[in-house]
Structure 1
Amino acid sequence: MAEVTSPYNEIAVYETAQLDGEAGRFRCMRFADEDVQGAIDLRDSRRLVLGYQKALARLLELRDPSFGSLFVIGHGCGSIPRYYSGKAVKVAEIDAAVVELSRRYFGYADHNVAIGDGRALLEAEPDGAFDYIVLDAFTSKGTPAHLTTEAFFRLASDKLSPGGALVLNVMGRPRDDGLTEAIGTTLRRVFADTRCYSLPAKRNRDRRNMIFIGSDAEFELGGRGMGELVEVELAEGYVLLDDPTPRA
């Protein structure tokens, strides 16, 4: 349907009759790394269709079913902001082409997306403004490094309301994965309660969606309503610090 090269991504929009093992009519956004970054069901555009997005929403709602405010870093085709359109949602997306394609091909109509670096945009928000901050940003190299450091996590902590939580979707493995172990260790330096959940993969060594939650308020889900999500205990890793070289 469309192929666009932006300063940040090579983006393709296409349709398929199969997605995550489900038959139907789906429109997808894909970056050059071949991973699906977003998708809608053409029969029900508000429904979440990607497994990790369903799991992420389940975690948000189990932890705080009445939450009111959300800051999302990483827009994709707008699935998460659209799903929570009845709440106070702000979105940060660095790539204007992604937002334009989400409007043209995925029907995204809300005017709550700011173009720019998610960390800088979050820094400009008032302290204590959000019940949840969701990081769902990817490049061809994975999650941007400056969004996984101790300094970023402390910034996010300042922007959360009392009892709020930072939620990160990253690709990794629950065992023998230096980056996911480092993210878990770095989160624990900032948040009193840190948890990591894994979605299933075909083989133990396969990369899969890993969802981290960091909060100053302890909350034990106890397995209820978790579906395919499994809480994992990560090994200790190194601490992720900001690169001293200034970003352009």
Structure 2
Amino acid sequence: MRVLYEAAAEEGRDGFVVGDVNELYGEKGNFRVLQFSDAAVQGVMDLDDPQRVVFEYPLAIVHLLTHNRPRLERVFQIGHGIGTIAGHCRGARFKTAEIDERIVRASERYFGCSGASVAIGDGRRILESEEAETYDAIVMDAFTDSGLPRHLATDRFFAMAASKLEADGMIVLNVTGKGHGDRQIGALYATLREAFSCVSAFMLPAERASEARNVLLAGRNRRIDWRTREIAGFIPFEPVPGHIITEDREE
């Protein structure tokens, strides 16, 4: 990797690096990546085709949002990355919460992200301050070295998030897990069902059942629809039954 920028880990903020590579997950090319200190790639740009969406999960999220809300207008996102999802939901106004202003600066300087409304700070606190029934959708792409922050995964958080959505709005989470038998995915699924009447789960295929992969969880108080050919290879599945993640402890 040819390193362009490196940010050290600080209290409450993970370290990350921006760099150029000639191969990404077996594909040869010219790629620019935003990568956490544990080598997890959060964002990628194909330097030969900057408009291309390289990862499957942003494509799948955009499809879920626009297919279920064709007149998508207002979206709240937690986790900025390089701004891929906001950049491909044409006509929608995004407000993004990002805890690390260095991520925002890096996305602007090295990935050409611009024009997004970004609030620096904790995503939960920022969302709490929004008016009720304001958003068509909420997107959670808040990766850290240790996964989804727990305070963004509790029953109270999802109840609060539901109150910020319009009647047929939806929430979509991008997380990582091991598919059917992953107990943490099962817990997230069960906790989402406390706040939304309809919850769907999707995962990317993997060679081994124990292999971690992107998992999407979507919640809504109406039916969730999708087109198989447009969801970027994700397949629906039923997570193992899980416990409810509460504010003070897991039960």
Query: Hey, what does 1:210 align to over in structure 2?
Result: 215
Query: More deviation in 105-114 or 118-127?
Result: 105-114
Q: What's the CA shift string for 1:96-154, capped at 9, x where partnerless?
A: 11111111211122251110000001111111111110000011110101111111100
Any runs of at least 4 consecutive aligned residues in structure 1 with deviations exceeding 6 A, and if so which? none
Matching residue of 2:57: 52
Residues 176 and 170 (structure 1), Cα distance of their counterparts in 2 relative to 1, 3 Å cut: same
In structure 2, the CA distance between the partners of 1:195 and 1:124, relative to structure 1 (3 Å rule), is same
Residue 227 of structure 1: how far off its partner (Å): 4.2
Deviation at 1:85, TM superposition (A): 5.7
Using the size of structure 2 for normalisation, the TM-score is 0.91
Which of 183, 187, 191 matches 2:188?
183
Amino acid at match of 2:151: H
1:4 to 2:7 alignment: yes
State the 1:224 CA deviation: 5.4
d(CA) in 2 for partners of 1:215 and 1:131?
11
Percentage identity across paired residues of the two chains: 38
Query: Which stretch shows the higher mean deviation, 200-209 or 156-165?
Result: 200-209
In the TM superposition, what is the alpha-carbon distance from 1:200 to its structure 2 partner? 1.6
CA deviations 1:180-221 (Å, max 9, x no partner) are 000011111110000000112221110111100000111343
Q: Cα gap change, 1:10/1:84 in structure 2, threshold over 3 Å: closer, same or farther?
A: same
Contact 1:46 1:79 in 2 (8 A): no
Equivalent of 1:90, from 75, 90, 95? Answer: 95
Structure 1: tracts of 5 or more residues without a match? none
Query: What's 1:125 paired with?
Result: 130
Matches within 5 A, 1:13-32: 13-32=18-37
Secondary structure at 2:80 match in 1: coil
Task: Tell me: CA distance 1:118–1:85, structure 2 relative to 1, closer, same or farther (3 Å).
Answer: farther
Matched, 1:225 2:236: no
Partner-residue secondary structure (3-state), 1:47? coil
Distance 1:39 1:173 in 2: 23
8 Å Cα contact 2:189/2:217 also seen in 1: yes
1:195 aligns with 2:210: no
How many equivalent residue pairs? Answer: 244
CA gap of 1:114–1:210, structure 2 versus 1, over 3 A, is same
1:154 corresponding residue in structure 2? 159
SS at match of 2:21: strand
Alpha-carbon distance between aligned partners in 2 of 1:225 and 1:46, rounded to the nearest angstrom: 18
What amino acid maps onto 1:216 in structure 2? N
User: Would you say 1:241 and 2:246 are equivalent positions?
Assistant: yes
Displacement of 1:228 after TM fit? 1.3
- Give yes or no for contact 1:20–1:51 (8 Å, CA) kept in 2: no
In the alignment, the residues of structure 2 paired with residue 155 and residue 146 of structure 1 have an alpha-carbon distance, to the nearest angstrom, of: 12
1:142 maps to what in 2?
Answer: 147
Within the alignment, does 1:77 sit opposite 2:82 as a pair? Answer: yes
Contact 2:200–2:224 (Cα < 8 Å) also in 1: no
Q: 2:175 aligns with which of 170, 173, 178?
A: 170
Q: Aligned partners of 1:103, 1:224: CA distance in 2, in Å?
A: 32
